[in-house]
Amino acid sequence: MKVEVHDTPLSIGEHLAERIVDGIRARGSEGRAYVLGCPGGRSPMPVYEAIGRRLKVEPINCSRLVIVMMDEYLQASGGDRLTPPPSSVHFSCRGFGEREIVGRINAALPAEFRIPRANFWMPDPSNPDDYDARIAAVGGIDLFLLASGAGDGHIAFNPPGSARDSRTRVVALAEQTRRDNLATFPDFRGIDEVPSHGVTIGIASIAELSKSVAMIAWGEGKRHACERMSGATAYDATWPATIAAECRAAELHIDAAAAGRLGARP
Mean pLDDT of 94-121: 98
pLDDT of 107 > 70? The answer is: yes
**CB neighbour burial string for 28-61, b if at least 16 within 10 angstroms, e if fewer:** beeeebbbbbbbbbbbbbbbbbbbbebbeeeebe
How far apart are the C-alpha atoms of 247 and 206, rounded to whole Å?
8
Range with lowest mean pLDDT among 56-65, 149-158, 179-188: 179-188
pLDDT at 263: 54
pLDDT at 45: 98
Mean pLDDT of 72-92: 90
- The secondary element (H helix, E strand) that includes residue 256 is helix 256-259
pLDDT 10s digits, 173-228: 988 889 888 888 888 889 999 999 999 999 999 999 999 999 999 999 999 999 99
Tell me which CATH code domain 2-259 carries.
Answer: 3.40.50.1360
pLDDT of 122 > 70? The answer is: yes
Read out DSSP for 78-138?
A: STT-EEPPPTTSTT-HHHHIIIIIIIHHHHTS-GGGSPPGGGEE---TTSTHHHHHHHHHT
pLDDT 10s digits, 158-171: 999 999 999 999 99
How far apart are the C-alpha atoms of 143 and 200, rounded to whole Å?
18
pLDDT 10s digits, 22-57: 999 999 999 999 999 999 999 999 999 999 999 999
How far apart are the C-alpha atoms of 13 and 5, rounded to whole Å?
12
List the domain boundaries for the chain: 2-259
- The secondary element (H helix, E strand) that includes residue 57 is helix 45-57
Other CB atoms within 10 Å distance of the CB of residue 25: 14
Range with lowest mean pLDDT among 10-24, 29-43, 74-88, 135-149: 74-88
Q: Would you give the DSSP letter of residue 168?
A: S
